[in-house]
Amino acid sequence: MLKSAALGSVTLLSTLSFDEALWGRQLSEQKSRKPTAWDEIGPFYKRDAPQSAQLSRPGDPGLPVRVSGKVFDTRGNVLSGTKIEVWQANHQGLYDLDGYSYRGTLIADGEGAYDFRSVMPGHYPGRICQHIHYLVSAPGHKLLTTQLYFATDPVFEGDPEHNYTRDPLIQSSDLVRPVTLAGDPNEIHALVNFEIVVEQL
Amino acid sequence: MRPGSFAMVLFAGFATAAMAQAPQGSPEIIKLQAPVTSVALSATSNRAAVVSRDKKLTLWDLADSRLLRTIALVTADIDVTAISDDGRWIFTGDHSGNGCIWEASTGQAQFQLRLPHYPSAVSFSRDSKLIAIAPMGDPVQVFEVATSRMLYQTKAVTGGTEAIAFSRDGTSIATADADTTVRIYDARTGKLVAENRDFLLEPLALDFSADSRQVIAGGGDKVLIFISATSGKVIRRLEKTDEPVSFSSLRVSPDGSLIAAILMKAENMSQPAPVVMWEVSSGQKKSQWMPTTLALCMDWTRDGRLISAGSDSDSLHIWRVP
């Protein structure tokens, strides 16, 4: 029954209870998803980052950014409780090795959702593109190291689909995400959505 | 990305010679026809393997700066080059994940391999019979060079391996892993023997002590830690540096009395950073100098002299520490 519902079988629905039909519809809405592209972990990972969705401190220079998304498996199921470690350079492109500035650990909620607030990372001099590192750990799934890039990065000249290879570490243009500016002119902030898909073990 | 993967570097001198034993005078210059992308040294055999932008792998005799062989490559996009201590084998690994082991005397490929990702670290065993290759983010693969047979691969660790070293006695392999752990394996079987999780940041460089009983490791924590190769426990720590640097490369001298390190500036890994030498017995710095640009690699000669290499746009620069 589950398989039939997942395949969207109309004929079976009339024989199902309301709850079963609803479940079946939810399943039919799920899409199989491509795993998020891998990217290297980089040399500045630091373990034991505090569990916090606020990576920047009030008044920190730089364009505020809120990154949000959901974590899925490749069958489209949301993965609540997924541990997501994020770290980045500050707006000047510098990593904090002595403390935990711009480093945090997030736990995806019951809907698989996560979000954090920070500032747009600067260009680290040893790299070409602005980026935020991710280490994603979901029980029963492969660990994922990847990096989030921004379509507004001048390196891409407005065409990340074609120009993402300018940074040889970017494995897929899917990692380059659109940036939406929001807020009033005095308090502009950036919004970025980055969905994560991990593979089952 | 490691500093060794940067294409254009200049190592034309040193700004300060704070202590004794820093190199004096000018480096030896080996003229090339294109900028260097990757370099490896074998001080024991007095050889340098150089990959340049014109897709050439050249082998040099450092005794008289003589070109021994030129090998044509299909790409200049080489992330890692390594040369065995006896100078017989050269490894090149490109950014597409293609690896090749070349026989230096003939210029022929001994064997080629396809890696899941580009290599992040490579090391030959001290007897030049084995090679350990870490594809970025993946388990370390160990091969017998003469037969091209893969002996084993280590278990997967988060983020993969940043540095590999074989012990002098050939019994152990140590890895500096991105999950901030130093692991020691049985070199013959790949079985995990010990691990150490004292680092908060990634360890990026390591080597064994001369007696093979300890692993000395360093990274973003800015401290050198001596680790028991059998238990993984910390035996000793040297004084932490306050400078914003990380350890990029470590080599213990043949007699075990000195440790040399190429540092990496945390704010810009492509800028030159100090090369430092410590005396193991006292834990004190014996020498430190600042090249004007990045040091790419180094090795010890059998008689205990340090050789370091860098390059500018058309030449390889070799520094020798007395």
DSSP B232-293: --EEEEPPPP-SSEEEEEEEE-TTSSEEEEEEEETT-TTS---EEEEETTT--EEEEEEESS
Query: Which single residue is written with the structure tokens 């901030």?
Result: B180
Q: What is the pLDDT of residue A94?
A: 93
Q: How close is the nearest chain A Cα to the Cα of B162, in Å?
A: 8
Gap between the terminal Cα atoms of chain A: 25
The three-class DSSP label of residue B181 is coil
Q: What is the pLDDT of residue A1?
A: 29
Q: Would you say residue A73 lies in a domain? A: yes
Query: Do A21 and A71 fall within a single domain?
Result: no
| Residue environment code for A19-46, b if the CB has 16+ CB neighbours within 10 A, otherwise e | eeeebbeebeeeeebebbebbbbbbbbb
B177 to chain A: closest CA residue: A43
Query: Do A86 and A179 fall within a single domain?
Result: yes
B26 or B162, which is more confident: B162
The three-class DSSP label of residue B30 is strand
User: Using CA atoms, how far apart are residues A151 and B316, in angstroms rounded to an integer?
Assistant: 38
A94 to chain B: closest CA residue: B267
User: Using CA atoms, how far apart are residues A38 and A134, in angstroms rounded to an integer?
Assistant: 10
- Answer yes or no: are the C-beta atoms of B73 and B56 closer than 8 Å: yes
Q: Where is A5: in which H helix or E strand?
A: helix A2-6
Measured between beta carbons, the chain B residues lying within 8 angstroms of A42 are 1
How does pLDDT run across B187-203, given as a tens digit for each residue? 999 999 999 999 999 99
Q: Would you say residue A136 lies in a domain? A: yes
Task: Report the percentage of chain B scoring pLDDT > 70.
Answer: 92
Select the residue of A41, A94, A125 nearest B159 (Cβ to Cβ).
A41
Q: What is the pLDDT of residue B199?
A: 97
Chain Cα centroid distance, residue B255? 19
CATH 2.130.10.10 fits B27-321, yes or no: yes
CATH number reported for the structural domain that contains residue A116 in this entry: 2.60.130.10
- How many CB pairs (< 8 A) connect A and B? 79
Token pair belonging to B16: 């300060």
Domain that holds residue A13: 1-30
Amino acid at B275: V
Select the residue of A97, A135, A168 nearest B95 (Cβ to Cβ).
A168
How does pLDDT run across A134-160, given as a tens digit for each residue? 999 999 999 999 999 999 999 999 999
Amino acid at B304: G
Instruction: Kindly list the domain boundaries of chain B, sorted by start residue.
Output: 27-321
Q: Would you say residue A173 lies in a domain? A: yes
Average pLDDT over residues B55-72: 95
How does pLDDT run across B118-154, given as a tens digit for each residue? 999 999 999 999 999 999 999 999 999 999 999 999 9
Query: Which single residue is written with the structure tokens 């541990």?
Result: A83
Query: Do A103 and A171 fall within a single domain?
Result: yes
Select the residue of A38, A45, A168 nearest B178 (Cβ to Cβ).
A45
- Answer yes or no: are the C-beta atoms of A65 and A189 closer than 8 Å: yes
Amino acid at B122: V
- Answer yes or no: are the C-beta atoms of B244 and B267 closer than 8 Å: yes
Query: Do A105 and A16 fall within a single domain?
Result: no
User: Using CA atoms, how far apart are residues B286 and B322, in angstroms rounded to an integer?
Assistant: 12
User: Hey, which residues 9-68 in chain B have their CB within 8 Å of chain A?
Assistant: none
Contact assignment for B160 to A41 by CB distance below 8 Å: yes
Q: What is the pLDDT of residue B28?
A: 84
Q: What is the mean pLDDT of chain A?
A: 88
Give every CB contact of residue B217 below 8 A, 6+ residues apart in sequence: B174, B176, B182, B196, B199, B203, B205, B206, B224, B225, B227, B250
Measured between beta carbons, the chain B residues lying within 8 angstroms of A44 are 201-202, 220, 266
Q: What is the mean pLDDT of chain B?
A: 89
Measured between beta carbons, the chain B residues lying within 8 angstroms of A46 are 180, 200-202, 220
Tally of domains within chain A: 2
Q: Would you say residue A52 lies in a domain? A: no
Q: How close is the nearest chain B Cα to the Cα of A124, in Å?
A: 7
Query: Do A84 and A130 fall within a single domain?
Result: yes
| Residue environment code for B111-149, b if the CB has 16+ CB neighbours within 10 A, otherwise e | eebebebbbbbbbbbbebbbbbbbbbbbbbbbbebeeee
Token pair belonging to B282: 């006292």
A11 or A78, which is more confident: A78
Give every CB contact of residue A60 below 8 A, 6+ residues apart in sequence: A90, A91, A119
Query: Do A91 and A183 fall within a single domain?
Result: yes
B77 to chain A: closest CA residue: A168
Prediction pTM value: 0.88
User: Using CA atoms, how far apart are residues B284 and A191, in angstroms rounded to an integer?
Assistant: 50
Q: Would you say residue A58 lies in a domain? A: no
